[in-house]
Amino acid sequence: MISIVTLTTDFGTRDGFTAQMKGVILGIFPEARIVDVTHDIEPFSILEGALVLNGIRKYFPPTAVHVGVIDPGVGSQRRGLAVRTRTGYYVGPDNGLFTFILNESADVEVREIRNPEFMLPEPYATFHGRDIFAPAAAHLSAGKMFESIGPVVEKPVTLTVPKPVRSASAIEGEAIYTDRFGNVTTNIPADLLDRTVREIRIAGTRIPRLSRYFAEVPFHEPVALINSFGLLEVAVNRGNASAELHIETGDKIRILW
C-alpha cells in the first residue's frame, strides 16, 4: 500500500500552514509517513518548485505521493491536478509545477481533482493546499482509486523553460535557479557538454574550465560543474556565487569550446 507523502511548498516554517496540511493527511490516513522536502521554495517561484520536485522523483518509491504547493493563483479558475507516473504520484495546482515531471516521465496520466470525496467539505478559496491537495494525497496514499479522483486532463499547463542554444563553437544558456548557498543552476544539461570546455562566461566572470567538484578550485574562487540536477552550475568554493559574482536569474551564460 502507498504510505509515503512528501510536501514541497513555499510556506516557510514560521506559520502553521504545513502543520495544518499534515493534520489533514494524518486525520484521513494515520499510517502515512510524511516527508518534508522543503518549505523554503522562493515565494511564488513555480519554476524553482518544479526543479525541486523533479530532482527528488528518482529517490522515492514509485508508490509515493508528492504534494507541491507553490500556488500564486490559488482560488482562481486554475485546476487542481493529480498525476500518475512510473516514478510516483503528484498532487498540486495546474500552473506548471509539474512541467519537468510531465516532460520527462513515461506513461503519464493526469486527472483534475473534482471528486468531493477527495477534498475537505467546503474548501476555502485561499488554502487549497490544506483543503484539496492534502486530502487528495491522503486518500491516494491510503489506496483510493486514482481513476475516481476526477476526469482526465489532456493539456495540463507547462512552463516555457528557456532552452540552451548550441553552435559549432559555443553553447548559450541562462541562469534559472539559485539555491541557499548561492550556487546558480543554469538550463544547460550535462549531455550537451560533450567537448572540452575552453571557457565559461557569466555576468562578467570567466571560468577557465569545467570542474568535477567545488574543492578543485581554491577557496573563494568561482567554479563551474555539473550539479545533482544534471545541469551546469556556477558556484564559488566556500562562497556565494549569486552575491559575489552578481548573477541573477535570467543572466546569460556562454560556454566556449
pLDDT in tens, 199-251: 999 999 999 999 999 999 999 999 999 999 999 999 999 999 999 999 999 99
pTM for the whole thing? Answer: 0.92
Q: Which CATH number fits domain 4-149: 3.30.420.340, 2.60.40.10, 3.40.50.10790, 3.40.50.620?
A: 3.40.50.10790
**How do the domains of the chain map onto residue ranges?**
4-149, 165-256
Mean pLDDT for the stretch of residues 123-146: 97
Give one word for 41, left, alpha or beta, with left for phi > 0 and alpha for psi -120 to 50.
beta
Mean pLDDT of the chain: 96
30 φ/ψ angles, rounded to the nearest 5 degrees = -60, -20
Cell numbers placing 9:
511548498
Domains 4-149 and 165-256 share a fold: no
The 3-state DSSP class for residue 189 equals: strand
CA 87 and chain centroid, separation: 14
Q: Which of 37, 29, 72 is nearest to 54 (CA)?
A: 37
Q: Would you place residue 194 in the very low, low, confident or very high pLDDT band (cuts 50, 70, 90)? A: confident
- C-alpha span between 230 and 247 (Å, rounded): 20
Cell numbers placing 185:
543552476
Superfamily of structural domain 165-256: Bacterial fluorinating enzyme like (2.40.30.90)
The 3-state DSSP class for residue 178 equals: strand
- C-alpha span between 113 and 133 (Å, rounded): 8
